[in-house]
Amino acid sequence: MQIARFSKIGFIMAATGSAVGLGNIWKFPYQAGKYGGGAFVLVYLITVLVVGFSIMLTEMLIGYLGRSDTFSNFEKLAPRHKAKWRYAGMQAFSSILIMAFYAVVIAWVLNYIVTSFSLLPSSVAQAKSTFSGMLQSGFFVQFFYLTVTFVIVTAVIARGIKGGIEKLNLVLMPLLFLIIGGMFLYATTFSAFSHAVTFMFRPDFTKLTTTAFVTAVGHAFFTLSLGMGAIMTYSASLQKGQSLVKSSLLIIFFDTLVAILAGLMLFTFLYQYGGKPSAGPGLVFISLPVIFYQMGNVGNFLSIIFFIALAFAAITSAVSLVEPTVQYFMDRNGWKRTKASVIIGLFFYIFGIVVIMSQTIHFSSYLTWGGRNLFSWLDYLTAALLLPLGGLVMSIFVGFIMPKSQVEKVLRPELGFLFNAWYFNIRYIAPILLMVVIVSLLSAQ
Ligand code: PHE
């Protein structure tokens, strides 16, 4: 049972902190670049608005009414078959799969903050070899920063909802907005800005393959932290009377804003300095540092604050990835918060070490299947399959299993005449869309 409650602003910041993460600043730009820009961005935006909003409200409602860990929430709210429905709470465990690669990327980011102080690569070739050198033979550097990540995340979570999570977000989120906002404004002064706008907003549907489509929908879930209990677990600590609709809209607004601003900024810099948007996951770790080098002293400064912002964004999300499982062991097994934080922390830490190994020259052949290594499988499958699946389960649960009167009591006063549209959406439109995504993912393999 949750005893500590977020303050109103604390909840908004914490949930926004969860949503705004590597997904917005690292993943979104490289995926948009890889899948051709506009059409990908359009599918992502439509999914965020049509499905994302409805599912976020659904997930918040379950947390708000359940007031507990994910398993107990489903159990409490299912009028019949409680024992069966509690397994819907298993979605919280997707977080460990995400965290295993997420923490590794945080380790890269921390490493890049430190190197930004001194050496930036002077050419793409050099940047590439630095980055792939880190992946293939820089096991210990990654291991070191993974350890730092483990310590930070565990320490925050061990301090609890108010003293740890809320405090962290109240400090880091405003700083993050300041940095990204400032860098975006700087980017608008470049002539390549309009090129970046065209790239992001002019859809070319010939580029929209099944993989691009599935990735865009999966990304909408990933970026909003939906389908794995993060928003649900935070919502269990919502204050009575805080508006679920307004909170969802604000979180989605901030999340989309950061993705768009970060994307426009990155593509402006890329076009201005002759980089290519389609560099893949190395985009911010390869192309960007070279551009910062070309900018001279300003570049060094920009590089430092950019990677700091990325670290802030990522750590606030990482905390929300681990909290649901911690909550689970506290509620269901009676563990103390500190014990739960350390044990779950160790779990993702060890898993993270295996993920690091999956990209090293020595071990990659053992940890690669079907052309994807462990890192890339975890990234792809969690976003494209597990999160939409979590969303599907929640929409069916709230749409068909929970008594309508219980749902209506909370949301009708907030949504007014839109209640029926939302209810129809989560009963029919969202589940069908999500099933299409899941089926096309499975058949594309
Ligand atoms: N939303 C986070 C991001 O965009 C990632 C995340 C996914 C966090 C799922 C929590 C739950 O980086």
User: pLDDT tens, 135-175?
Assistant: 898 899 999 999 999 999 999 999 999 999 999 999 999 99
325 lines ligand 1 (CB under 6 A): no
- Tell me which DSSP letter residue 402 carries: S
272 lines ligand 1 (CB under 6 A): no
Confidence class for position 368, pLDDT limits 50, 70, 90: confident
Tell me the angle at which helices 8-19 and 244-272 cross, rounded to the nearest 10 degrees.
Answer: 40
Burial state string for 92-119 with b = 16 or more CB within 10 A and e = fewer than 16? bebbbbbbbbbbbbbbbbbbbbebbeee
User: For 402-428, what is each residue's pLDDT tens digit?
Assistant: 999 999 999 999 999 999 999 999 999
225 lines ligand 1 (CB under 6 A): yes
In this prediction, residue 379 carries a pLDDT of 87
In this prediction, residue 118 carries a pLDDT of 82
Among 1.20.1250, 1.25.40, 3.30.460, 1.20.1730, name the CATH number for the domain at 8-443. Answer: 1.20.1730
Ligand 1 atom with the shortest distance to the CA of 317: 8
Q: Which of 101, 215, 320 to mutate to test the pocket of ligand 1 (most atoms within 8 A of CB)?
A: 320
Give the type of residue at 189: T
Token match 């929970």: residue? Answer: 402
What's the gap in Å between 21 CA and the centre of ligand 1? Answer: 6
Q: Specify the range with the lowest mean pLDDT, choosing from 3-7, 141-145, 344-348.
A: 3-7
391 lines ligand 1 (CB under 6 A): no
In this prediction, residue 292 carries a pLDDT of 92
Ligand 1 atom with the shortest distance to the CA of 314: 12
Q: Are 180 and 258 in contact (CB under 8 A)?
A: yes
Ligand 1 atom with the shortest distance to the CA of 318: 8
Percent of the chain clearing pLDDT 70 (strictly above): 99
In this prediction, residue 33 carries a pLDDT of 87
User: For 232-262, what is each residue's pLDDT tens digit?
Assistant: 999 999 999 899 999 999 999 999 999 999 9
For the record, the structure tokens of 15 come out as 């949930």
Determine which helix (DSSP H) or strand (DSSP E) holds 426, and give its type and residue range.
none
Confidence class for position 195, pLDDT limits 50, 70, 90: very high
Is the predicted pLDDT of residue 366 greater than 80, yes or no?
Answer: no
Q: Are 302 and 116 in contact (CB under 8 A)?
A: no
Mean pLDDT of the region 292-314: 93
- Tell me which DSSP letter residue 122 carries: S
Is the predicted pLDDT of residue 431 greater than 90, yes or no?
Answer: yes
What's the gap in Å between 98 CA and the centre of ligand 1? Answer: 8
In this prediction, residue 85 carries a pLDDT of 92
Give the type of residue at 311: A
What's the gap in Å between 10 CA and the centre of ligand 1? Answer: 18
In this prediction, residue 445 carries a pLDDT of 55
Is the predicted pLDDT of residue 315 greater than 80, yes or no?
Answer: yes
What residues contact 15, with CB distance under 8 A and at least 6 apart?
A: 225, 231, 234, 235, 247, 251, 320
Is the predicted pLDDT of residue 202 greater than 80, yes or no?
Answer: yes
Mean pLDDT of the region 214-237: 93
In this prediction, residue 44 carries a pLDDT of 93
Determine which helix (DSSP H) or strand (DSSP E) holds 369, and give its type and residue range.
strand 368-369
226 lines ligand 1 (CB under 6 A): no
In this prediction, residue 375 carries a pLDDT of 86
Confidence class for position 10, pLDDT limits 50, 70, 90: very high
What's the gap in Å between 24 CA and the centre of ligand 1? Answer: 9
Closest residue by Cα to residue 25 from 318, 291, 263, 201: 263
Query: In sequence order, what are the beta bridge partners of 373?
Result: 368
What's the gap in Å between 419 CA and the centre of ligand 1? Answer: 27
233 lines ligand 1 (CB under 6 A): no
What is the rounded CA–CA span in Å between residue 77 and residue 327?
18
In this prediction, residue 1 carries a pLDDT of 55
What's the gap in Å between 317 CA and the centre of ligand 1? Answer: 6
Mean pLDDT of the region 31-60: 93
Q: Which of 56, 94, 223, 312 to mutate to test the pocket of ligand 1 (most atoms within 8 A of CB)?
A: 223
What's the gap in Å between 274 CA and the centre of ligand 1? Answer: 31
What's the gap in Å between 290 CA and the centre of ligand 1? Answer: 27
316 lines ligand 1 (CB under 6 A): no
* Protein residue with least CA distance to atom 11, ligand 1: 225
pTM over 0.75: yes
| Distance set, CA 388 to CA 148, 227, 230 (Å) | 31, 6, 14
44 lines ligand 1 (CB under 6 A): no
Determine which helix (DSSP H) or strand (DSSP E) holds 373, and give its type and residue range.
strand 372-373
